[in-house]
Structure 1
Amino acid sequence: MKGKNKCESLGKYISELYRVQNSYLSKRFNKLNIGAGQYLFLLHLYKYRGATQEELTEMLKVDKATTTRAIKKLEDNGYVIRDKRKEDKRAYNVILTEKALDIEPKFFEILDEWKNKLKEILSEEEENTLLKLLKKISISNLI
């Protein structure tokens, strides 16, 4: 049993859960022509309407190139438009299109399906504890 614990780590399970979630959501969002690298940006745009690319980069803790690629794909698929800010011509607000607004209920239905799959496994108390612990790790600025 001693050797078994050497292979167990928090990172391993977080990584596995991330991959399983990504696989599930990729299959479901693929029907809407939204890639795995784009749904988080769309999610944040639903919550923070008209956010700038820079704000999205900061919120999602990704680099600027990742944000640019994701927004470009969403733009190419008709889900967003980029609008130059009047105050700063180098910055863009990312605006949801009618197409994005039309799929919003389906988008959140897919996320709810995933959330419900997790709720089948965890009690409410376990879910609350897990959320609290993951949030604590996430906001701790490990880097």
Structure 2
Amino acid sequence: MREILREVGMIARALDSISNIEFKEIDLTKGQYLYLVRIYENPGIIQEKLAEMIKVDRTTAARAIQKLEMQGFIEKRDDEINKKIKRLYTTDKGAQAYPILKREGDHSNAVALAGLSEAEAETLHQLLQRVRKNVEVDWEYVKKGNKREY
């Protein structure tokens, strides 16, 4: 069997490393850009849904969100109905960073897909979505404290 997940992992780590280096100039480090992009694209998202979207545990998300808030990229606002719920929004600083993050994402996507036809890129996208959905089943299972059998 081919080591497909190793390839996916290498791609993800390389792109993450590039982003962490390039985004230092706007004071974003260690994957914070992922959170900022998702908050910008989903204004009012709650922390739990954001963690689920990025596929990290709640503690990891909480630390990243807290740091983004302290740096002035995002803010928490009370939900209009349930005051216990805190909704996440980008600040003006976060909104100004978004076009830079989007441009980098678009560039990385173009570089990664160079040489692939439109049909090949679409097939790759569909296949990777299927793989992600397969993995999400185990992620949810383990996240709830269960152990997979190998």
Shorter-chain TM-score above 0.5: yes
The answer to whether the 8 Å contact 1:49/1:96 transfers is yes
- 1:75 aligns to 2:77 (yes or no): no
TM-score, reference length from structure 1: 0.86
Report the equivalent of 2:101.
Answer: 107
For residues 1-143 of structure 1, the aligned pairs below 5 Å read 8-140=2-134, 141-143=136-138
Gaps of 5+ in 1: none
The range that moved more, 85-94 or 46-55, is 85-94
Give the unaligned 5+ runs of structure 2: 139-150
Cα distance in structure 1, aligned partners of 2:97 and 2:33: 12
Shift of 1:119: 2.6
Aligned residues: 137
1:80 Cα deviation (Å)?
Answer: 0.4
Take 2:95 and 2:49, find their aligned partners in 1: how far apart are those partners?
20
What CA deviation, in whole Å up to 9, does each residue of 1:85-134 have, x standing for no partner? 24334321111101111222222111112112113242222211111100
Q: d(CA) in 2 for partners of 1:81 and 1:47? A: 14
Q: CA RMSD in A?
A: 1.7
Cα separation, 2, equivalents of 1:63 and 1:87:
26
Q: CA deviation at 1:65?
A: 0.4
Structure 1: which 4+ aligned runs deviate by more than 4 Å? none
- Residue 77 of structure 2 aligns to a residue whose secondary structure is strand
Aligned AA (1:82): K
Q: Deviations over 1:5-60 (max 9, x none)?
A: 6xx41111111111111111111222211123211111111211111112212222
Q: Secondary structure at the match of 1:83?
A: strand
Q: Which amino acid in the other structure matches residue 110 of structure 2?
A: N
The one-letter code of the counterpart of 1:50 is G
